[in-house]
């Protein structure tokens, strides 16, 4: 009995099984034919590399890396690279498929891909990280490229990582190819607004949802889980828009202030002390209580499997804005639906990042760069339209937003596949 429970929980926590479950539901509702289902259900290509890297102390270590291209039906594969000690191929497969659906939801001309390297960045020096990144890139040289597969930052990777990927690729090509990655530093072909883009996208779709609920920004109480790139930017921009950020939930503590946290001061405190703990503008609350605080909007912006069958019943938000990829398991979805929580699914909510990545790729290819106002204006237009598309689709078909987003995406990708036909 105990093993049964633990194995069903283990299955629940497997992101690839979650991705398949969501895919199957949307495919059935769309009446997708068997052949198309087989094609779109599995990734087109999975590459595993074992990369030898010399550590600073002279020892040789071998790291495992993955790059999965789920689909290139609508354009080059697109998606981030994450560095984490617990990265698995199943996780990368799921994340790659989510990128396919995400790019289709916001209707940008990309397929979906994702990469990961099994390593613990906290234990590695900058030069070790650089060697890992460069060797990983070199091993993937024939698989990536502006027309093939375009990596970007994800968990524990950043502008510097992208600069190393761009340089390594360019050295192999014997010319500077900025469009091979996005999320680069501004001085190397990066786009204005890219760093803030995922958080900004979360803020834009949340503001659309608030209108549906008749909530004014100053009456809106927000809890954000995660204070990395996505969480901190979402917090900053939501606070700027007048929302009250009542709690930030981090891995070690939750910081709470019912009157609203001063996000700039909290960021400064974290940068100074390494943690949000003991911030004078709020109180420390046990970490695990943070997600279940009474609020209007909950933004999980950390990682997968945060809301599960074990805890979803305790969520007290009206709106769930999924800043992270895969924060909610399919089992938790059912519970949230019963509770009537309005879910803005990850493949819509966090699509601002890849949308500005698309703008970056376009700018690099043209060699002509946009100002921030243009980037943010175009991002807003795409996010608002996509939100309306998904919510409209949900109403029309009588399904929840997540299923609607998947159906919309599957419809677009399968249409592209049909137009292309099968090369034999
Ligand atoms: N890693 C981000 C995501 O999961 C961005 C991907 C990209 O810009 O290609 O959406």
The DSSP line for 54-67 is: E-TTS-EEEEEEEE
Q: What is the mean pLDDT of the chain?
A: 97
Is pLDDT at 5 greater than 80 in this prediction? no
**So what's the pLDDT on residue 8?**
87
Closest ligand 1 atom number to CA of residue 82: 1
Taking CB atoms within 8 Å and a gap of at least 24, the contacts of 256-261 are 256/282, 256/283, 256/284, 256/285, 256/290, 256/293, 257/281, 257/282, 257/283, 258/221, 261/235
Asked if residue 392 has pLDDT above 70, the reply is yes
Digit-coded pLDDT (tens) for 84-102? 999 999 999 999 999 999 9
Q: How far is the CA of 141 from the centre of ligand 1 (A)?
A: 20
- pLDDT tens-digit profile of 162-189? 999 999 999 999 999 999 999 999 999 9
pLDDT digits (tens, 9 = 90+) for 294-305: 999 999 999 999
Give percent above pLDDT 70 in the chain.
99
- The question of whether 211 is a catalytic residue gets the answer no
Among 48, 46, 49, CA closest to 77 = 46
pLDDT of residue 151: 98
**Alpha carbon distance 251, 270 (integer Å):** 13
With 60 as the cut, is the pLDDT of residue 193 above it? Answer: yes
Closest CA to 326 of 310, 342, 349, 360: 349
pLDDT value, residue 315: 98
The 8-class DSSP code of residue 285 comes to: E
pLDDT of residue 260: 98
pLDDT, mean of residues 208-215: 97
Report CA(223)–ligand 1 centroid distance (Å). 23
* Domain parsing of the chain, residue ranges: 45-187, 197-349
Minimum-distance ligand 1 atom for the alpha carbon of 354: 8
Q: What is the pLDDT, as a whole number, of residue 4?
A: 63
Do 83 and 121 touch, CB atoms closer than 8 A?
yes
State which ligand 1 atom lies nearest to the alpha carbon of 80: 1
pLDDT of 3 over the 90 cut? no
Q: Which two tokens stand for residue 407?
A: 């159906």
Q: Spell out the CATH class of 45-187.
A: alpha beta
Q: Summarize the chain as % helix, strand, coil (round to 5).
A: 50, 15, 30
Helix (H, G, I), strand (E, B) or coil at 192: coil
Alpha carbon of 183 to ligand 1 centroid (Å): 9
Comparing 45-187 with 197-349, is the CATH topology the same?
A: yes
Distance CA 130, CA 26 (A): 41
Q: Cβ of 77: how many Cβ atoms within 10 Å?
A: 29
Average pLDDT over residues 362-389: 98
Q: Which atom of ligand 1 is nearest to the CA of 110?
A: 9
- Residue with the smallest CA separation from ligand 1 atom 8 is 354
Residues with CB under 6 A from ligand 1: 78-80, 152, 154, 182, 325, 350, 353-354, 357
Spacing of C-alpha 105 from chain mean position: 14
What mean pLDDT do residues 209-222 have?
Answer: 96
pLDDT score at 2: 55
- pLDDT per position as a tens digit, 107-139: 999 999 999 999 999 999 999 999 999 999 999
Q: Which of 184, 357, 360, 379 to mutate to test the pocket of ligand 1 (most atoms within 8 A of CB)?
A: 357
Annotated active-site residue in 102, 114, 184, 318: 114
Index of the ligand 1 atom closest to the CA of residue 102? 10
For 297, what's the count of Cα atoms within 13 Å in the CB-facing half-sphere? 33
pLDDT score at 84: 98
Residue 354 phi/psi, 5-degree rounding, is -70, -25
Residues forming beta bridges with residue 223, ordered by sequence position:
247, 298
153 C-alpha to ligand 1 centroid (Å): 6
Among residues 350, 356, 352, the alpha carbon closest in space to that of 303 is found at 350
The distance from CA 118 to its chain's CA centroid, rounded to whole angstroms, is 18
Contact between residue 144 and residue 180 where contact means Cβ atoms under 8 Å apart: yes
384 C-beta neighbours (distance < 10 Å), count: 14
Supply the residue whose CA is at minimum distance from atom 9 of ligand 1.
Answer: 79
If one residue of 84, 94, 354 were mutated to test the ligand 1 pocket, choosing by the most ligand atoms within 8 A of its CB, it would be 354
Is the pLDDT score of 1 beyond 60? no
pLDDT exceeds 90 at position 7: no
User: Does residue 54 carry a pLDDT above 60?
Assistant: yes
Q: Name the CATH code of domain 197-349 (choices 3.30.200.20, 3.40.50.720, 3.30.1180.20, 3.60.15.10).
A: 3.40.50.720
């Amino acid at each position: 009995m105990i093993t049964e429970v633990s194995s069903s929980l283990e299955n629940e926590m497997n992101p690839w099984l979650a991705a398949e479950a969501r895919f199957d539901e949307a495919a059935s509702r769309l009446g997708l034919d068997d052949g198309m289902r087989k094609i779109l259900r599995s990734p087109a290509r999975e590459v595993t590399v074992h990369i030898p890297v010399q550590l600073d102390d002279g020892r040789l270590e071998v790291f495992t890396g993955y790059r999965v291209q789920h689909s290139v039906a609508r354009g080059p594969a697109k998606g981030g690279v994450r560095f984490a000690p617990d990265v698995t191929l199943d996780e990368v497969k799921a994340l790659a498929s989510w990128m396919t659906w995400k790019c289709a939801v916001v209707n940008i001309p990309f397929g979906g891909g994702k990469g990961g390297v099994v390593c613990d960045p906290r234990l590695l020096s900058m030069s070790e990280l650089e060697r890992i990144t460069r060797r990983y890139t070199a091993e993937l040289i024939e698989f990536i490229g502006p027309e093939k597969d375009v990596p970007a930052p994800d968990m524990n990777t950043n502008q510097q990582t992208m600069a190393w990927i761009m340089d390594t690729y360019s050295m192999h090509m014997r010319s500077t190819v900025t469009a091979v990655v996005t999320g680069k530093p501004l001085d190397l072909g990066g786009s204005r607004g890219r760093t803030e883009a995922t958080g900004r996208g979360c803020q834009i779709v949340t503001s659309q949802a608030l209108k549906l609920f008749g909530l004014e920004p100053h009456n809106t109480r927000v809890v954000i889980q995660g204070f990395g790139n996505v969480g901190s930017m979402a917090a900053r921009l939501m606070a700027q828009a007048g929302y009250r950020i009542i709690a930030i939930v981090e891995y070690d503590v939750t910081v709470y202030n019912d009157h609203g946290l001063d996000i700039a001061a909290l960021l400064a405190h974290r940068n100074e002390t390494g943690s949000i703990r003991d911030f004078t503008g709020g109180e420390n609350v046990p970490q695990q209580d943070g997600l279940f605080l009474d609020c209007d909007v909950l933004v999980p912006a950390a990682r997968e499997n945060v809301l599960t069958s074990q805890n979803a019943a305790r969520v007290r938000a009206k709106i769930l804005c999924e800043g992270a990829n895969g924060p909610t398991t399919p089992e938790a979805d059912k519970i949230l639906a019963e509770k009537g929580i309005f879910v803005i699914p990850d493949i819509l909510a966090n699509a601002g990042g890849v949308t500005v990545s698309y703008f970056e790729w376009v700018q690099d290819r043209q060699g002509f760069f946009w100002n921030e106002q243009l980037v943010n204006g175009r991002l807003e237009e795409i996010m608002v339209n996509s939100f309306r598309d998904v919510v409209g689709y949900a109403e029309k078909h009588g399904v929840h937003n997540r299923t609607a987003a998947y159906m919309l995406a599957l419809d677009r990708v399968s249409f592209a596949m049909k137009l292309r036909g099968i090369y034999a």
